[in-house]
Amino acid sequence: MNPRVRDVVPKDDYKLEITFTNGEIGMYDCAHLINFGVFSEFKDIGYFCRARVEHGTVVWPNEQDICPDTLYLDSTKVPSMHAG
């Protein structure tokens, strides 16, 4: 099983900075979703930035979510600022 989401920081460029339960940090680009059905609300960057973690994945107020496996497998991993 892939790690789940522990923390998320939405960015103004439709990217999510995600900290996973294994300590890895990934950047997931949501720009490709903004013209897709339920995700069209993301066009409002204020709404997009209301992303939060719930049940190990990223969710938004109107019940949009992204599979945690997709978030982990498709994110670009970045070095941790806290690595020693």
Residue 49 half-sphere exposure, CB side, CA atoms within 13 Å? Answer: 6
Residue 42 has pLDDT above 70, yes or no: yes
Residue 55 has pLDDT above 70, yes or no: yes
Residues 6+ apart with CB under 8 A from 11: 17
Q: Where are the domains of the chain?
A: 5-75
Name the phi and psi angles at 48, rounded to 5.
-55, -40
* Burial group, residue 20, by CB count within 10 angstroms (0-12, 13-18, 19+): buried
Question: What pLDDT sits at residue 84?
Answer: 46
The rounded distance, in Å, linking the Cα atoms of 13 and 30 is 9
Taking only the tens place, the pLDDT of each residue in 22-40 is: 999 999 999 999 999 999 9
- pTM of the full predicted structure? 0.91
User: Which tokens go with 61?
Assistant: 């107020």
Class of domain 5-75: alpha beta
Q: Compute the average pLDDT of residues 3-21.
A: 97
